[in-house]
Structure 1
Amino acid sequence: MSWAALAEGEPEGPGELRVRRPSLNSEEPEERIAARRPRIAARLEAKRREALGEDPDAKKAEAEELSRSHKQIEESRQRLAKLLNDGTQLLTNIQVAADARETQRRAEEDELKRQR
């Protein structure tokens, strides 16, 4: 079935009821009025939101901002975890180097004692 047929409200198969939507091109004034009502309601709602200072696309922008903020939070957590890991490795390497120097010093001291 075509989209045009669905838009016109044609039945999809035999035995199905035809649901007709109000049309702006109808001969009957009540049907034209019924077709205009949702558009008028949407327009009034947009004006009301504008008067209150709400942005009609605010929800989309807010959702996008939330996803951006979640992404930034995750990137920050990863960066902090990496910094913590790198800092721990640096301190561990410094301690290992100091221990190696101390071991070397003691070995040299023992050798000097033995030679004396």
Structure 2
Amino acid sequence: MKKDIQIPEVKNVYIAIVNEYNDIYKTHDWNAYIINDKEVDLEMVLIVTSGYSKDKTTSIFRKKLDKLPKKSYAKIELMQEDLFELNNTFKVSFFEGNTMFDKTYLFRKNTINLKALQPVPLMEVKGVLVK
């Protein structure tokens, strides 16, 4: 039965962790974003994030977006720097038309840092990107 289920490959949807200046608090904050670089809107986007290591596990954070328009992005959450010592997963599910897509994005421990910054699609900023 399970072998008969077709799960399509997710393309042009990314997760980025971006270091941004916060005008209100005058600090540099790390924020997680989901990026839709497709030519179609994504509907019913569900994001479940958590961090883990051999000794520690964070609580689970959930976010729902009714719609993520084509060629756009949305903030998922503010990330504390203490989390970068952990593996951070972002499990993303969404509908494109009548088809459900699902993908897990993994930021391995200590890979989110200023030295790892690269250009982020659509956002015109630099960040740590997982495709």
| TM-score between the two structures when normalised by the length of structure 1 | 0.16
Greater share of residues in helix? 1
Q: Which has the higher strand share?
A: 2
Of structures 1 and 2, the one scoring higher in RCO (CA 8 A, sep 6+) is: 2
> Which structure has the larger Rg over C-alpha atoms?
1
- Give TM-score scaled by structure 2 length: 0.15
